Structure 1
Amino acid sequence: MTRVLVYTTLLVAFVAATGLTISAIFVPEWINYDTPSSTGGRVTKTMGLHRSCSSIDHTCHPALQYNDCKVEDRYFCSMWRSAGFIMSFAAVLEMATIVAYVMVLSGGKQKRETGWKLLTFLLVLVGLLQCTAMAIVAYLFDNDDRFFVGWKLAKSWIFCIVSWVIAIISAAALSLSVYVFPPEGGYELIPSERYHR
């Protein structure tokens, strides 16, 4: 039953990846600013896909304020919202992929032998979506004037990277297992066929 083991192992890894995706969406730490303050403490500001937090007033607010979406900054606003939408869509697809894993695992030998195609497609799609969101944020970090010295890509961005890497590796491992592992076992003859031989 090697395929059951492969599917189960990859499902566990993918559930962990889904947890990282959800954390990346809700933890407001895609880009951080951290510098010493004049009073001896530290000034920090964190920016997530949907919320931004500051140590100055110890509050969090929506990541994009009115000033972020003025005419001259509309490009940044659109790109940042796109990254947030793509990550949310990827999370929905990850939930669908987990359901597909469970259906394939519980569907018997025939589903395990054919279900890898759908799962591989979903895994690659999830990986590409997350990679796109990660690239958008990295591009904005490198090219937008609001991110100057002291800003850095932070842990939610790393969560996204780890998540899409797990998805792509899972897709590759699943596809490879089809050609490397032998079938789960030979087909048994139907009782009526046994008697006719």
Structure 2
Amino acid sequence: MARTLAYVATLIALVVATTLSLTATLQPLWITYHPFSSRSASLSSVVSDNIGLFRRCISSSAKCQPFPAPANPLIGHHPERISSFSFFCPHWRTARLQMTFVAIVQFTTLMAILFTLYRQRLAAWRDTMTPTKKGGGGVHYGIVIAGLLWLAAAGELVALGIVSYLFDHDDLFLVPGYELGPSFHLALISSGISLLAGVGLVMASWVLEEEEEEEGRIFLGDNENVPPQDQDL
């Protein structure tokens, strides 16, 4: 029961992390631009710019545009800065690819946890979980699932690192007013949840494994102390 609760808690954490990750990936809010309007500036002159992994939404445009765009990787960039395109675009697409990879790993982890819970429930239904067998392979399952969680977190951290580096070094974001947006922070929170969930699952698996092994030794010791039944002559 305790092991099941550990997996259920991990499942809940994974659902939260996956939701945050998907929201961050799909929303064009990785880098945002909201300039400080002066007293003389009219409201119509204030332009917002929201950049995501797949699209870019500018308030002056009625429709979001693909980003980086195939024809012009950096919409609004001056043509003389075309030399930076060869660096920016591949790295931005790499960050996008990393977050797509993270989504695949997270859904794979979700299926792995559900399969583990189904396996435990099926074993309980068949009443085959004896004290000597309890937890058999439990640590291994926990390590595998934790490894998937850490892999997803690593993918998110790579994407975050790429976006953060481009934000600090690319000319597009030198204009005052650009800042890392909500999607960036959602992905950061998601990676933290995945890391902590993996650590918690491994620790719970080790503790429960030791407890179940101790219960198994006690069970075997009790059986050895039971006097044999009288045999008929």
TM-score with structure 2 length normalisation?
0.75
Considering fraction of residues, name the structure with more strand: 1
What amino acid is the match of 1:44? S
Q: If you compute each CA radius of gyration, which structure gives the higher value, 1 or 2?
A: 2
Equivalent-residue separation in structure 1 for 2:136 and 2:207 (angstroms):
17
Please tell me whether residue 164 in structure 1 is matched to residue 164 in structure 2. Answer: no
Q: 1:137 corresponds to which residue?
A: 163
Partner residue in 1 for 2:129? none
Moved over 6 A (4+): none
Q: Mapping of 1:105-124 within 5 angstroms?
A: 105-108=117-120, 110=136, 112-124=138-150
Deviations 1:146-169 (A, max 9, x none): 102110000000111011111110
Give me the identity figure in percent: 30
Higher mean C-alpha displacement, 49-58 vs 37-46: 37-46
Q: Which moved more, 1:78-87 or 1:101-110?
A: 101-110
Alpha-carbon separation, structure 2, partners of 1:110 and 1:63: 49
Give, in angstroms, the shift of residue 84 of structure 1: 0.1
**1:7–1:185 distance in 2 versus 1, CA, 3 Å:** farther
Q: Given the two structures, how large is their TM-score scaled by the length of structure 1?
A: 0.88
Where in structure 2 are there 5+ consecutive unaligned residues? Answer: 75-81, 121-134, 221-225
Give 1:68's aligned residue: 73
Q: What CA distance in whole angstroms lies between the structure 2 residues aligned with 1:72 and 1:144?
A: 8
Which residue is 1:40 aligned to?
Answer: 43
CA displacement at 1:122 relative to structure 2: 0.5
Instruction: Report the equivalent of 2:212.
Output: 183
Query: 1:49-69, CA deviations, whole angstroms, 9 ceiling, x for partnerless residues?
Result: 001001112320101122327
What value does the CA root-mean-square deviation take over the aligned residues?
2.4
Aligned mates of 1:112, 1:178 — CA distance in 2: 6
Aligned length in residues: 193
Q: Which is worse superposed, 169-178 or 69-78?
A: 69-78
| CA distance in 1: counterparts of 2:213 and 2:63, whole angstroms | 56
